[in-house]
Structure 1
Amino acid sequence: MSPRTQATKQKLFDATLRLAGAKGMVGLTVDEIAASAGVAKGTVYYNFGSKDGLVDALLRYGVDLLATRLHSADEVEDLVDECLGFFADYPAFAQLLVSELWRTPGQWHGTLTLLRDDIISIIKQHVQRLADADRLPSGVQVSTASAALFGTLLVVALDWQVFQPQRTRAEVRESVMMLVRGLGPNS
């Protein structure tokens, strides 16, 4: 992909997130996205085929960015910090992700299922280490704990950004880590 094409797509992603954060995806038009990005309406269709194609690509792009950050984490605390940092950097993406993940059946359900599975698999590696160290309560499945941690991080990050912006990322991370540490008998 040429640098110019990538720059155009980035402008469209940024505009879509800005608008989605301000008014939500429902009712958001290609005209509004193009105008906000400073491009012609045809540019959206040329690059993505449709608004749905744009949102699908945006979801994939955002989850790829999140996955890259999570892969850099060595410990659960690093994973929590990276996830919170990502959602602090991209709060509108967090809003979009939450609204689309729990809208059933959503327009992008297939894409989100694959993307969710990607993120959960990264988290699962860390949670498996906790399980291997006997830090998960008896009977708690690693897959359930992994999904719970991701859901917790997503909702906590949104709550932090919307209702408690005065809190620092370190304070929020420590609150989540208190929950994680409290999971098992060896906490």
Structure 2
Amino acid sequence: MTTAKATKPSSKQKLFDAALRLIGERGAAGVTVDQIAATAGVAKGTVYYNFGSKDGLVEALLRHGVDLLAEQLRRAEAVPDTESSVETLVDGALLFFGEYPEFAQLLVSEMWRTPGQFHGTLSLLRDDIVAIVKRVLQRHADAGRLCGVEVGTASAALFGTLLVVALDWQTFQRQRTREEVRESVMLLVRGMGRGQGKR
């Protein structure tokens, strides 16, 4: 009995799952608290009890998802070889977005919405992720494997590439394996290391 209760998802987790699914399909603005509660199978008041409002739920969802993504990406920082660390970073992002494709949709739809309701929160969360990518690429650059591209620009570009490539993979090219997609991204990364000294 205790075990069964422990394995049941909490009301908060049900709300996260329902909100992620609905927001991924319709965008944050197109989803109501009633719809989230109905999809989660909980009372509407549960949303307000746990998060205060729909906006509170969406912000918590964004933070939760970025925390999970950051956890995946940080594994790359422990890999000694610089190219292997970039590959681990790319693979971690693809693994996360493969498991949570709706979160990629949410980030794409909200991150570049102008003006965006969650722009402030997303800016901070984006900075957290790009900082991890930057640390990995800085090591890559220090090893002489990143030519002529400023590390901050390369980091933002790689994060954007991973987000859009993962979304394209999950939406239009599901027949491709994660390994195939990873290698395609790594070809782009390796291309940034070619032609050093040419200005």
In the alignment, structure 2 segments of 5+ residues that lack a partner are: 1-5, 80-84
Q: Is 1:64 aligned with 2:67? A: yes
Q: Which amino acid aligns with 2:73?
A: L
Partner Cα distance (2:152, 2:116) in 1: 23
Match of 1:34 in 2: 37
Decide whether the 8 Å contact of 1:134 with 1:186 is kept in 2.
no
Match of 1:141 in 2: 150
Q: Is 1:106 aligned with 2:112? A: no
Decide whether the 8 Å contact of 1:135 with 1:186 is kept in 2.
no
Partner Cα distance (1:97, 1:22) in 2: 12
Match of 1:25 in 2: 28
Alignment of 1:49-128 (within 5 A): 49-73=52-76, 74=79, 75-128=85-138
In the alignment, structure 1 segments of 5+ residues that lack a partner are: none
Q: TM-score, normalised by structure 1?
A: 0.93
Partner Cα distance (1:32, 1:154) in 2: 27
Secondary structure of the residue aligned to 1:72 is helix
Partner Cα distance (1:18, 1:101) in 2: 17
**What's the C-alpha RMSD, in Å, of the aligned pairs?**
1.6
Match of 2:48 in 1: 45
Decide whether the 8 Å contact of 2:144 with 2:193 is kept in 1.
yes
Decide whether the 8 Å contact of 1:70 with 1:83 is kept in 2.
yes
Q: CA deviation at 1:20?
A: 1.6
Partner Cα distance (1:141, 1:152) in 2: 16
Q: Which amino acid aligns with 1:111?
A: T
Deviations for 1:120-177, whole angstroms, at most 9, x for unmatched residues?
Answer: 0100011101110122222x21110000000000000000011111000000000000
Q: Is 1:183 aligned with 2:192? A: yes
Decide whether the 8 Å contact of 2:28 with 2:58 is kept in 1.
no
Q: Give the aligned length.
A: 183
Partner Cα distance (1:102, 1:22) in 2: 17
Match of 2:3 in 1: none
Match of 2:82 in 1: none
Decide whether the 8 Å contact of 2:97 with 2:103 is kept in 1.
yes
